[in-house]
Structure 1
Amino acid sequence: MKQFLLIIFPLIALCSCNSDQSGQNQKRLNQSPALIQQFKPVINGVWVKKDYIKKVKKSKSPLAAVEKGKGITAMYIDTAKLKGSSISIPVIWNNHEGKNLTLKFEPGRNTTTIVLGDDELSYKIKNNDTTLIIYNYNPRTNETNSAQYIRAADNKQMNNPSYGMTYMINEAILSGTYEGKDANGKPIKATFYADGKVTGLDRLNTYLVQNDMVLNPDRSHDEIIFNPDSKEQKSYSFIIHKKTLNLYDDSERIQSNKPSYTLKKKRGD
């Protein structure tokens, strides 16, 4: 009789645990419709890491902001792709790697967050500006870290986290009209657009500011790639000092401070 009791008690305990877990899962799912209604109108769009963009804008240098470009740096939430109570969202990790995370409209550790991969997502609205917040909980240290994200500018092509980050970097440090000269003294009037187009620089029509430092961690200067992914691709190192943009096509020009292009942004741009 004692042996029978020893066998049956663990079975009862196991059934009880499974029942409790099932009940908790059902409770979380029951909250999904309310969480969808709350979050869905707010979180749609491309979002970029606030501290990173702020540092890029202040320093005029993605290289100087590399320490701020860790973890999730950009993400695209398309609420039209909601299936059941979750969405698969593309994110950029460390400004280098693309991956997908599952956003679940289920409560996180408190009633103000929902589940994003191993992390949690929340938001705040101030003066009609929305900020998303990702919370990361470390069970080993019992510490919670957070990062804030701002919505990328409204643009018809803004359906890709990589493009959203590129657009925001361009807008922060380069977009505008410039006047200056090339290395031969030829007058130049060029316009850089936030969407990656450029005019006035000979046959250079598009540009990309390099912010992926994983590819070349020993880079000493910021880099801009013109006509990327084409036969006419050409790279320049660049330095922005106040409103002057200097472009260098080789290390010797940098060392001698003889830019290939010296361009000053027009006042008001």
Structure 2
Amino acid sequence: MKRFVPLIISAALFCSCDNNQQSADKPLNQGPELLQQFKPLINGTWVKKDYIKKVKKSKSPLEAVDHGVGVTVFRIDISKMKGDSIPVTAVVNNHEAANLTLRFQPGRNTTTIVFGNDELSYKLKNNDTTLIIYHYDNKTKETSSAQYIKAPDENKVGDLATAMNLMINQAILSGNYQGTDATGKPVNARFTDDGKVSGLPGLSTYFVQNDHIADPQHSHDEIMFNMNAAGQKSYSFIINKKTLYLYDDAEHIKSNKPSYTLKRKRD
């Protein structure tokens, strides 16, 4: 499989840390110490931090597409460890599945372990763990890094798509809404973290499109309701401050004729 590499911020490896922040900043020895240092911290599903941050700030996965390159989500299940290695499932560019191998062997730097063709480390701040993938470019001799935050525990099954969807939903959409439909009829709707919706007639599930390789020509953000089920319906959407506008298509966006205008209520 073709390798894809995260292309975010260049960084010097492992800055010094204060009392509330720790990293793998001590030389690692191949053997039990190496395993025991990483093993308690890395189990779970990990989502690209800069991508989720950009989605939240812009309220638009389409606006964040440049941050959704390389490995965007991966799962480490330490129960699958064989010898000194763990097979790791991953998604690249929010589109393509990939299989990587995490090896409990020192990387190029004494503070990393081998992760596919790249290297993995971590940092701790206030008991929160961030994983970091480092990539060394042999041509430019430069190092790039990507940080990953842990998805909620609901994703123990290792469903990478569910993990990414949940993080996006939490970032921009989950909550209670009050508003009107196109005829002015009052609407009270609820969007949950796990992709359930209530209060919109005939609609029970939703999915915020984040795979823009599969749909590169789409000009606006899209929500798909009842995906792969009866009554499937897609709306383009715009979130302006706390108001969610759902449109039948791009023409309705141009004419500013939303099918639903929903203002998010305070929790």
Q: Which residue of 2 aligns with 1:148?
A: 147
1:115-264 equivalent positions in 2, closer than 5 A: 115-155=114-154, 159-264=158-263
Query: Is the Cα–Cα contact under 8 Å of residues 106 and 114 in structure 2 kept in the other structure?
Result: yes
Cα distance change, pair 74–113 in 1 and its aligned pair in 2 (3 A): same
Q: CA–CA distance in 1 between the matches of 2:141 and 2:156?
A: 40
**Secondary structure at the counterpart of residue 125 of structure 1:** strand
TM-score by length of 2: 0.87
RMSD, aligned CA: 1.2
2:211 maps to amino acid: D
Question: What's the CA shift for 1:159?
Answer: 2.0
Question: What's the CA shift for 1:34?
Answer: 2.1
2:115 maps to amino acid: L
**Secondary structure at the counterpart of residue 204 of structure 2:** strand
Query: Is the Cα–Cα contact under 8 Å of residues 169 and 195 in structure 2 kept in the other structure?
Result: yes
Question: What's the CA shift for 1:120?
Answer: 0.3
**Secondary structure at the counterpart of residue 201 of structure 1:** coil
Structure 2 portions without partners, runs of 5+: 1-28
Cα distance change, pair 220–200 in 1 and its aligned pair in 2 (3 A): same
Q: CA–CA distance in 1 between the matches of 2:72 and 2:195?
A: 19
Query: Is the Cα–Cα contact under 8 Å of residues 122 and 131 in structure 2 kept in the other structure?
Result: yes
Q: Which residue of 2 aligns with 1:86?
A: 85
Q: CA–CA distance in 1 between the matches of 2:208 and 2:177?
A: 17
Which portions of structure 1, spanning 4 or more consecutive aligned residues, are displaced by more than 3 angstroms? none
Structure 1 portions without partners, runs of 5+: 1-29
> Who wins on radius of gyration, i.e. which is larger?
1
Cα distance change, pair 213–32 in 1 and its aligned pair in 2 (3 A): farther
**Secondary structure at the counterpart of residue 130 of structure 1:** strand
Cα distance change, pair 117–156 in 1 and its aligned pair in 2 (3 A): closer
Q: CA–CA distance in 2 between the matches of 1:157 and 1:238?
A: 30
Question: What's the CA shift for 1:112?
Answer: 1.1
1:58-97 equivalent positions in 2, closer than 5 A: 58-97=57-96
Q: Which residue of 1 aligns with 2:9?
A: none
Question: What's the CA shift for 1:252?
Answer: 2.3
Query: Is the Cα–Cα contact under 8 Å of residues 113 and 121 in structure 1 kept in the other structure?
Result: yes
Question: What's the CA shift for 1:32?
Answer: 3.7
1:192 maps to amino acid: F
Deviations 1:89-114 (CA, angstroms, capped at 9, x unpaired): 11010011011101111110122111
**Secondary structure at the counterpart of residue 154 of structure 2:** coil
Task: Tell me which protein shows more helix as a share of its residues.
Answer: 1
Q: CA–CA distance in 2 between the matches of 1:157 and 1:175?
A: 21
1:258 maps to amino acid: K
**Secondary structure at the counterpart of residue 204 of structure 1:** coil
Query: Is the Cα–Cα contact under 8 Å of residues 247 and 262 in structure 1 kept in the other structure?
Result: yes
Query: Is the Cα–Cα contact under 8 Å of residues 220 and 250 in structure 2 kept in the other structure?
Result: no
